[in-house]
Amino acid sequence: MNQHSLENCIVSAILILIIAVHAYLTVLQAINLENEEVSRFHMGAKGYVSDEVWYVDAARNILRKIFNLEPKQSGSTFNATLIYASKEDAVKATQYAQMYGVTILSTEFAHLNAMYVSAKSREAIDAFGKATNAIDVVYGWILGDANNINDYLNLEHPPTAKYLIALSMLLLGDRPLYWRIPSIIMGVLTVLLTFFVVKRLTKYEELGLVTAAAVAVDPLVRNLASIALLDIFVTAFTLLAIFFAVSKKYRESLLVLGLASAFKFTALLAFIPILLLYISELIERGVNRFTEILNKSIESLLLTALSFVFFQLLVSAPIILKIGFGPWLQQSIFGALSWHLSTKCIGSGCPIASAPWDWFFGMNSFPLYIYPSGYTLYAQGFAPAYTLSLILMIFTVAYRFQKSKPLSKKPWVMLSGLFSAYLLLWIAGSRTQYSFYAVQLTPFIYIYLVAQIYEFLKRDSVIHVLISWKKFLELLWQALLLLLG
């Protein structure tokens, strides 16, 4: 084995170890959260963590209402949630459960007229439901406690992630750990793609390993990869789109961006850093005319729009066939855009919202889970690293207008571009953003931070930044003198 092959083997082994550690931590947390909820089942716990309740129940409803399928029943018993027209009907039905060989597992519902039951056969539950005038029977894990959640499809977000959650239910069964497997896989892909993006940007595998390790243990990535929310899917596919962009495959990048939007519309915010990378590439090729760059930018925007429309129609086809094109267009496109641009919930009963800059300081973090001990699991990254990245990003602004091509240039463009996109979304009206959205930024925070620190190890780089600020302030002073003179 030659030296190069040996180095590749060592790098691969370290990368596998990093991924294994990340996977272990996320699986362990997913299991611990499930065990915690199951242990409090008698107190009304349902097994869902944070907004999982909306996406998981929607996935289960899509499985049965759109595809006419049901989750795989695990074990020797059948479980189902029975829904009734009124609270009185639900209470009355409990009197007949034993007669049909049905065991009532929970009646702890405040907003849904329902009970959760178990029986040795499906026929027993069906007969019990029919005899007690149940209006719906939902097999699988207990439903969340929300009005009409048995009909909820979460049409304000695209269905792709919910398809994957539903697939895990169909193949493995309906329990919290299984819902979270797609998220765990996305977490692994996030770590892996971080390595390849850094390697492609810097040509240094060592920096790729350091950055991947930082992302692997970041608490925000681990927390989001261990529960069934949408944002970790967006993160993984944003990284894939950026990987194609830094590989100078911009069309492929925009196509992947369209696919990413089929998980959640916020993926489209990555269009700004991708466009900035493309414009930078055009300038490096000698394309300097404004009209030519504008035309290329419009072409990129149109390609992104076409990719968006194509993938939205493709993944939503089963839903469109079921509910019709008009209702789908109104709810899943226009309604979704309105939802993303609106202030969703304000007041004491609403989850804590945050502005994009809060994410860098660990401020106004979204509480994902509150343990009985009082400990709260927050959607929050490693704040010191996030804060340092923001400080360095601002500190090096003047440096970015120089003709030099430092190692940190593209990482800076990626992070500042995506952060700017969230700022624009906030300005456009989305004032109730939540800190778990920041997971889309997390890999780029570490990509930039590692590149910038490595660059600053050479003292000349720091001096160049200071000189850039000196030149910028001198220009600003001259402009001020002209204005006042």
Q: Name the DSSP class of 433.
A: B
Q: Are 351 and 435 in contact (CB under 8 A)?
A: no
Q: Angle at Cα 32 formed by Cα 215 and Cα 442, nearest 5°? A: 15
98 to each of 75, 95, 118, 125, 141, how far by Cα in Å? 21, 7, 11, 11, 21
Q: How many other CB atoms sit within 10 Å of the CB of residue 80?
A: 28
Distance CA 116, CA 96 (A): 14
363 phi-psi bin (left φ>0, alpha ψ -120 to 50, beta other): beta
Q: Which of 178, 221, 236, 144 is nearest to 33 (CA)?
A: 178
* CA distances (Å), origin 285, targets 217, 276, 456, 463: 39, 14, 28, 28
Residue 62 contacts residue 159 (beta carbons within 8 Å): yes
Hey, is 138 helix, strand or coil? strand
CB 173 within 8 A of CB 32: no
More confident residue, 349 or 12: 12
* pLDDT tens readout for residues 91-132: 999 999 999 999 999 999 999 999 999 999 999 999 999 999
SS3 of residue 339 by DSSP: helix
Query: Which CATH number describes the domain made up of 46-179?
Result: 3.30.70.250
* Threshold 0.85, pTM exceeds: yes
CA atoms within 13 A of residue 396's CA, in its CB half-sphere:
30
Q: What is the pLDDT of residues 142-173, one digit of tens each?
A: 999 999 999 999 999 999 999 999 999 999 99
- Sheet strands (E) in 114-219: 114-119, 136-139
Q: Where are the domains of the chain?
A: 46-179, 229-469
> Which ranges in 203-351 belong to alpha helices (H)?
205-217, 219-225, 231-246, 250-260, 271-284, 290-323, 325-328, 335-340
% pLDDT > 90, the chain: 81
Across the chain, mean pLDDT equals: 94
